């Protein structure tokens, strides 16, 4: 089990290749950020996993996800819903994906050509909170969609998302 937000939330155990970014640099209090180091040792292709606690938007999933993502991915195609997951805690959980080509102000060697993002949205109605989860997978070539192995891991993370202490939300 991997603990988030000081143990108030837990998810499935992340593989040992995931590193907590807060051990390297400061991360905002409403975020948890991990990088999954690429075995090719090209840091520009490291995968990242980001958890973001956001105010719940009072609209349906398709409108909420567009609004949550508009500032983060301004140059992306719209996200595509993959599946809605059932949960025992009454939360709604959605998984979608999008891909985009990063815009660079300065070209550097080995920069990703395209990024595929698996997006999870956990909607916690009883505390008016949305948890946005992003798994960013950079590619050095054009790709059509997400990798099944990445998807299996991401789905396991979203399914295992568990609130241990509701006091996190005030």
Tell me the mean pLDDT in the region 58-71: 86
Tell me the mean pLDDT in the region 129-149: 91
Question: Can you tell me the distance from the alpha carbon of 90 to that of 120, in angstroms, rounded to the nearest whole number?
Answer: 16
Angle in degrees, CA 64, 65, 71, rounded to 5: 105
Kindly report, residue by residue over 145-163, the tens digit of the pLDDT.
889 999 999 999 999 999 9
Question: Can you tell me the distance from the alpha carbon of 143 to that of 166, in angstroms, rounded to the nearest whole number?
Answer: 39
- pLDDT higher at 102 or 160: 160
Residue 50 pairs in a beta bridge with 33, 134
Share of the chain above pLDDT 90, in %: 55
Domains and CATH numbers, the chain: 2-169 (3.40.1000.10)
Question: Can you tell me the distance from the alpha carbon of 27 to that of 20, in angstroms, rounded to the nearest whole number?
Answer: 10
Angle in degrees, CA 93, 48, 113, rounded to 5: 110
Structure tokens at 145: 């969609």
- Determine the pLDDT at residue 112: 86
Kindly report, residue by residue over 28-61, the tens digit of the pLDDT.
999 999 999 766 666 667 899 999 999 998 888 8
Cα distance from N-terminal residue to C-terminal residue, the chain? 24
Cα atoms found within 13 Å of the Cα of residue 63, Cβ hemisphere only: 5
Q: Is 40 helix (H, G, I), strand (E, B) or coil?
A: coil
- pLDDT higher at 103 or 167: 167
- Determine the pLDDT at residue 58: 86
Question: Can you tell me the distance from the alpha carbon of 41 to that of 46, in angstroms, rounded to the nearest whole number?
Answer: 8
Q: How many residues in total does the chain contain?
A: 170
Tell me the mean pLDDT in the region 64-73: 84
- Determine the pLDDT at residue 43: 64
């Amino acid at each position: 089990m991997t603990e988030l937000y000081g143990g108030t939330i837990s998810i499935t155990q992340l593989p040992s290749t995931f590193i907590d970014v807060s051990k390297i640099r400061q991360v905002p209090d409403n975020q948890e950020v991990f990088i999954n180091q690429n075995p090719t040792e090209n840091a520009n292709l490291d995968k990242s996993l980001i958890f973001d606690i956001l105010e719940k938007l009072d609209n349906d999933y398709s409108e909420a996800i567009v609004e949550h993502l508009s500032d983060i991915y301004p140059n992306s195609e719209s996200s595509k819903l993959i599946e809605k997951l059932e949960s025992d805690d009454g939360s709604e959980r959605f998984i979608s994906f999008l891909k985009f080509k990063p815009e660079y102000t300065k070209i550097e060697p080995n920069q990703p050509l395209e990024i595929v993002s698996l997006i999870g949205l956990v909607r916690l109605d009883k505390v008016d909170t949305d948890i946005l989860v992003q798994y960013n997978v950079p590619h050095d070539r054009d790709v059509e969609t997400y990798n099944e192995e990445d998807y299996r891991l991401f789905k396991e993370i979203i399914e295992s998302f568990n609130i241990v202490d509701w006091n996190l939300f005030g």
